[in-house]
Structure 1
């Protein structure tokens, strides 16, 4: 899949008239996603390849749970089928076309500045967790708490994590961390990606 295909929906926002395929290996034959005006939400319908069912195996709809941002859809797909976050972000076409990470030294300096604030809020904790992960010094990903032993993530993988974190922000956090933690992580990843 070309970079342009991975980024065809990069600018998708609420209200964006979108109805597109989900090019995820093993699910790409029939699966779709897009914006539903009726529920003011993104949606996704996923069928495993070879399925003859009329009903999707996974149906993410704003009628059951609001999906106000593309990252919300990406996050739930990752968690429901235990898929690779980068593969899902690329399959939805929402990947940054030219992702870049700040240098490890810049990230370390920023983390040191935050640590010197002596602020123990969840918001700062989320920022520090994101900076630690982007430096390759965390054993878990931020968004799904999946094991991470791959060192410093690539810019494309950090961009995918940012999509999932933004999804967490819009969905209100998770049972371990509240929304404030993910707001901090979202801001730090935004900065780390040079945005």
Structure 2
């Protein structure tokens, strides 16, 4: 079985010997990413197509901010370029080759069970937000908070969101608390059948 270019780095983890191209439209001529043993971090260097500069337009370096997980790099690339999360995850080659979602009825039942719990928007709130987003009931994905349409996202988009929310857990920051992001991370992991 051959691995698609979108999944060639799916198994990338900290310490993984990696130096690869970033196939992001508009940034794909010279952009690279990988693992840097010296900083113990992932990194990315992106040049907009047509740039003649020696220095990348976007430089995500573990020397200035640690990127301990592939999703951390993906999240910052989304935020710096405005590219769609799925496009970035595919450009890095970290997409799951065959993502699947749990049945909508099972996810809806999980939402109902979680609604009986109250944690003031923390961990359970993160789970509820992520699960509602997977059903098209919430327009703001938990990792970026950038409005999307109300349709139910496809499995590959949910899997891309899981990469970004895991990256958010590792990087911290953002609009919500770490408890919220951790809850969203767990809910998306569960939704993807893991």
C-alpha separation between the residues in 2 aligned to 1:136 and 1:74?
Answer: 23
Matches of 1:30 and 1:119, distance apart in 2 = 46
SS in structure 2 opposite 1:131? helix
In 2, Cα distance between equivalents of 1:177 and 1:127? 13
The aligned runs of 1:55-66 (5 Å cut-off) are 55-66=55-66
CA contact (8 A) 2:138 2:150 kept: no
Give 1:54's aligned residue: 54
- Summarize the alignment of residues 1-195 of structure 1 with structure 2, pairs less than 5 Å apart: 4-120=4-120, 122-174=122-174, 176-195=175-194
Describe the superposition over 1:52-91 as per-residue Cα deviations: whole angstroms up to 9, x where unpaired.
1111000000000000000000000000010000000000
The answer to whether the Cα contact below 8 Å between 1:173 and 1:182 also exists between their aligned partners in 2 is no
1:13-35 deviations in Å (ceiling 9; x for gaps): 00000000000001111000000
Higher alpha-carbon deviation: 35-44 or 116-125? 116-125
Further displaced range: 3-12 or 163-172: 3-12
Partner secondary structure for residue 33 of structure 1: strand
Counterpart Cα distance in 2 of 1:35 and 1:128: 34
**CA–CA distance in 2 between the matches of 1:162 and 1:6?**
16
| TM-score (norm: length of structure 2) | 0.96
| Aligned-pair Cα RMSD in Å | 1.2
User: What's the secondary structure of 2:5's corresponding residue?
Assistant: helix
Q: Distance in 2 between matches of 1:69 and 1:168?
A: 10
Q: Indicate conservation of the 8 Å contact 1:31/1:44, yes or no.
A: yes
* Structure 1 unaligned spans of 5+: none
Q: Offset of 1:173 from its aligned partner?
A: 3.6
The number of residues matched between the two structures is 193
TM-score using structure 1 length: 0.96
What SS does the aligned partner of 1:6 have?
Answer: coil
